[in-house]
């Protein structure tokens, strides 16, 4: 099987159902959960919302293997590390359970401190994972079209933000090219922090010049196409808010409310 046939086969795979929704629907659906995480103080609600977000991503998004491993392995490991870190800095007057888990000199790491750290870590992990529900299932141009169509945000702001966001991968490619060129020419050779700082300093001016040239080309391209000359912009495929989007938002909001009430 050739690379072209493999790419074609992957492109024909149907995306997850989250990608078929309006780009604003996954974002609107997790807003009640974010609000609930701000007012809750126990570990049960963040844990349920975190698990629900992971299940929703695995079932409704076409994730790469690396993203799946990050969700199933990296996320629990990160929660554990953050729980210990936050627990170490927990205020002693807030610790309810004084049972000692680890004693180092005069310091006592207790069960209550671990629970406080675990609650905070779960809340942060739930916030990030809920943000991925919308972040991993839509693209910048689709979100810009939805913002201009449904929320009536001026397209000048939406598409300018998309153009700025697309600078990032270009700068990453330019940085990789500069690093290869510097290695070939032997610029700032050696290892260690001093050599790394010299190489980083040598790349500032080329990157700045490249960014100015790219911004100038983008501005000329947008100007030549009369971008911003009219108050409204037409779209070839304008996004629509359908019944399934409303059902999705209502269903997730109801599930969030049930978790907050029952737990």
pLDDT of residue 105: 80
Region 73-97 average pLDDT: 89
> pLDDT per residue over 99-123, tens digit each?
888 888 888 888 888 999 999 999 9
Return the higher-pLDDT residue of 85 and 232.
85
Return the higher-pLDDT residue of 218 and 7.
218
Return the higher-pLDDT residue of 83 and 181.
83
Bridge partners of residue 104, in order along the sequence = 107
- Mark out the alpha helices in 40-110 (DSSP H runs): 44-60, 65-69, 75-88
User: Are 145 and 241 spatial neighbours (Cβ–Cβ below 8 Å)?
Assistant: no
pLDDT of residue 188: 62
Region 40-46 average pLDDT: 89
206 Ramachandran zone, left/alpha/beta (phi>0; psi -120 to 50): alpha
Region 183-206 average pLDDT: 77
pLDDT of residue 12: 40
Place of tokens 């675990």: 118
Tokens of 11: 């492109």
Return the higher-pLDDT residue of 220 and 188.
220
pLDDT over threshold 70, residue 11: no
pLDDT of residue 239: 85
pLDDT of residue 124: 95
Angle at which helices 44-60 and 243-262 pack, to 10 degrees? Answer: 150
pTM for the model stands at: 0.77
pLDDT of residue 10: 40
pLDDT of residue 231: 79
pLDDT of residue 51: 95
d(CA 226, CA 46): 48
Task: For the beta carbon of residue 205, count every other beta carbon within 10 angstroms.
Answer: 9
Region 49-63 average pLDDT: 92
Average pLDDT over the chain reads 85
């Amino acid at each position: 099987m050739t690379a072209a046939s493999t790419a074609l086969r992957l492109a024909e795979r149907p995306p997850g159902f989250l990608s078929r929704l309006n780009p604003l629907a996954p974002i609107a659906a997790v807003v009640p959960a974010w609000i609930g995480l701000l007012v809750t103080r126990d570990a049960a609600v963040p844990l349920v919302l975190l698990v629900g977000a992971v299940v929703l991503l695995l079932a409704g998004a076409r994730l790469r293997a690396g993203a799946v491993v990050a969700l199933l392995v990296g996320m629990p490991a990160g929660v554990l590390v953050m729980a210990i870190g936050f627990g170490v800095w927990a205020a002693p007057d807030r610790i309810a359970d004084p049972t000692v888990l680890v004693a180092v000199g005069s310091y006592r790491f207790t069960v209550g401190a671990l629970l406080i750290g675990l609650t905070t870590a779960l809340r942060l992990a739930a916030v990030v994972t809920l943000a991925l529900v919308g972040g991993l299932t839509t693209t910048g141009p689709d979100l810009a079209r939805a913002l201009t169509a449904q929320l009536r945000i001026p397209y000048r702001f939406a598409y300018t933000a998309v153009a700025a966001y697309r600078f990032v991968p270009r700068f990453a490619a330019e940085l990789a090219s500069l690093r290869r060129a510097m290695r070939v020419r032997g610029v700032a050779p050696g290892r260690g922090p001093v050599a790394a700082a010299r190489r980083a300093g040598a790349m500032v001016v080329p990157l700045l010049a490249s960014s100015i040239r790219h911004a100038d080309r983008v501005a000329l391209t947008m100007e030549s196409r009369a971008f911003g000359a009219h108050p409204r912009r037409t779209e070839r495929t304008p996004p629509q808010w359908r019944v399934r989007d409303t059902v999705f938002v209502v269903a997730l909001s109801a599930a969030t409310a049930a978790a907050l009430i029952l737990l």
